[in-house]
Chains A and B, each alone.
Chain A
């Protein structure tokens, strides 16, 4: 099944209207005590979760909004926010 994504402004749309913005890694790390290695890890290293992850998406062909959704990477389907989060 093709990926559909729920934009907070335009509602559910075809996934091809959107640009993937990467995994949501949480807030930027504190600069105090930040080493080049830990910054490099924050920027470049991904967990590559097989399951549900929080992601950024950009509604490129629509309203231009940036927002997050939860997607199950094993089924490539958008899912509700997991209760643990």
Chain B
């Protein structure tokens, strides 16, 4: 049987300096001159699922409890679970080996239907405030937390991982078809702050610094 080729909907002008093949995805690990950021990273190859059940709080996913209220997130073992509403959560795999999907029809694999991006390092909230009115620095919210709303006029799910200016970061997803336009608008908004594409290695390092 032939292998399928899976392509990210994201493309940057610069070419990655180091790549690897993973589950038929070409994953950019490093770009030249990554320097200090801020960074925009394509994570579309990372597995994502939606999970829906009428009694969602009683379900455990990979041994993790579903967060209690909408907007709350839980990060454990390289997986982040985001409570969307009363009956749904989104689950994003961030680091480590890809987990097996539980044999449960409530899970829907949405990896191929959405774009998945990370924006982090210094000055990112100066960039985001040019693109959205969503409030990522809400002192009443503890990180990580989920916001669902327009980012550059595109409906997105956005998780704020850290609010501290020097190491702030967000992860976000939107429908796959918006990839080209959202990338163009983010890079344009971030140009004055030195925003540049980066590879997955930078994100893994940053996540390790953030959560060990």
Taking Cβ atoms with an 8 Å cutoff, the residues of A that contact B are 9-10, 13-14, 17, 59-65
In this complex, the member of B71, B84, B133, B150 whose beta carbon has the largest number of chain A beta carbons within 10 angstroms is B150
Contact A61 B85 (CB under 8 A): no
Question: Roughly how many angstroms separate A17 CA and B132 CA in the complex, as a whole number?
Answer: 11
Contact A10 B155 (CB under 8 A): no
Q: Tell me the residues in window 137-180 of chain B with beta carbons closer than 8 Å to chain A beta carbons.
A: 147-150, 155
- Which residues of A have CB within 8 Å of B71? 9-10
Contact A61 B84 (CB under 8 A): no
Chain B's closest residue to A63 (CB) is B148
- Which residues of B have CB within 8 Å of A13? 149
Chain B residues bordering chain A, tally (CB within 8 A): 10
Contact A61 B155 (CB under 8 A): yes
Within 8 Å of chain A (Cβ to Cβ): is B78?
no
Taking Cβ atoms with an 8 Å cutoff, the residues of B that contact A are 70-71, 84-85, 133, 147-150, 155
> What are 24 A-B contacts with C-beta separation under 8 Å?
A9-B70, A9-B71, A9-B84, A9-B85, A9-B148, A10-B70, A10-B147, A10-B148, A10-B149, A13-B149, A14-B133, A17-B149, A17-B150, A61-B150, A61-B155, A62-B148, A62-B149, A62-B150, A62-B155, A63-B70, A63-B84, A63-B85, A64-B148, A65-B85
B161 → chain A, closest Cβ, in Å? 19
B126 → chain A, closest Cβ, in Å? 20
A17-B150, A64-B85 given. 10 additional CB < 8 A pairs? A9-B70, A9-B71, A10-B70, A10-B71, A60-B155, A62-B150, A62-B155, A63-B70, A63-B84, A63-B85
- Which residues of B have CB within 8 Å of A9? 70-71, 84-85, 148
- Which residues of A have CB within 8 Å of B150? 17, 61-62
Chain B's closest residue to A16 (CB) is B150
Question: Roughly how many angstroms separate A62 CA and B158 CA in the complex, as a whole number?
Answer: 10
In this complex, the member of B84, B133, B149 whose beta carbon has the largest number of chain A beta carbons within 10 angstroms is B149
A57 → chain B, closest Cβ, in Å? 14
B68 → chain A, closest Cβ, in Å? 13
Question: Roughly how many angstroms separate A61 CA and B84 CA in the complex, as a whole number?
Answer: 13
Chain A's closest residue to B151 (CB) is A61
Chain A's closest residue to B149 (CB) is A62
- Which residues of A have CB within 8 Å of B147? 10
In this complex, the member of A10, A13, A63, A65 whose beta carbon has the largest number of chain B beta carbons within 10 angstroms is A63
